[in-house]
Amino acid sequence: MKYPRSSPFWRWLLLLCVAWLGLQFFFLARIALMARLAPESTAFERSQAWQIVSTQGRLPWRQDWMPYNSIGNHLKRAVIASEDDIFAQHDGVQWDAIEKAWAKNAKAELQASRAASHTTRPPKVVGGSTITQQLAKNLFLSGERTFIRKGQEFVLTLMLEAVLDKRRILEIYLNHVEWGEGIFGAEAAAQHYFRKPASQLAAWEAARLAVMLPRPKYYQKFPQSEYLAGRTEIIVARMGGAQLP
């Protein structure tokens, strides 16, 4: 008796599923190690290092790992107030922000479909990213904005929240987030912009660094930005209500 052979499509689909699951276990193992060992670098840092070397022929780089308690509370509160105001309460995702982002993406896709046929540029994908989501992206993923990458980011975010506590997530984030070209981590940023340790930043200084985070290279070049100054005052006023993990 002969059994029907499975089609090449199903075999490839099975292989893809197995490969995807293997990748997820690899990510999970890496995250589990981070509970004890600080990551030496992130995918984003490595891509930035390559870009700097390829354009400048050298690698000006500042980064110094500092434990959680050696990073001043002013900076922790400022970053939470600016980037993720309910960081200590959520499970890694702000669902209302995700809903708004999906609505915006759907609108962008509709507008793109109505655009001229010669336009091949894909619509910009946005997401209401929490600190945990930003960390997931920086640790493992590329900078491209696609739905597939956002889906992987979501899975990694859940892994980070399940394996690491909030203090560890914030500690890793603050030590690896970008604050300018070749400037990574709170200590390097504090030393570069204010010539002092991250533990000694005043509230206004911490707020100014936090406001830089969405566009650090831009504000590095334009430190006199009116938006930067105005937004800094807003974050200073909000810092008192920021809950630390």
Domain membership of residue 119 (yes or no) is no
In the structure encoding, which two tokens stand for residue 21, read together? 């699951």
Q: The domain that contains 85 carries what CATH number?
A: 1.10.3810.10
Domain membership of residue 118 (yes or no) is no
Domain membership of residue 168 (yes or no) is yes
Q: How many domains does the chain have?
A: 1
Domain membership of residue 102 (yes or no) is no
φ, ψ (nearest 5 deg) of residue 235: -65, -35
Q: Distance between CA atoms of 78 and 97, rounded to whole angstroms?
A: 20
Domain membership of residue 103 (yes or no) is no
Q: pTM for this structure?
A: 0.84
DSSP 8-state assignment for residue 23:
H
Q: Distance between CA atoms of 101 and 104, rounded to whole angstroms?
A: 5
Domain membership of residue 107 (yes or no) is no
Domain membership of residue 123 (yes or no) is no
**Per-residue pLDDT tens listing for the chain (245 residues):** 454 555 787 888 888 888 889 999 999 999 999 999 999 999 999 999 999 999 998 888 989 999 999 999 999 999 999 999 999 998 888 777 666 655 565 554 555 455 544 444 444 444 458 999 999 999 998 777 778 888 899 999 999 999 999 999 999 999 999 999 999 999 999 999 999 999 999 999 999 999 999 999 999 999 999 999 999 999 999 999 999 99
- For 60, the domain range is 8-94+130-241
Domain membership of residue 90 (yes or no) is yes
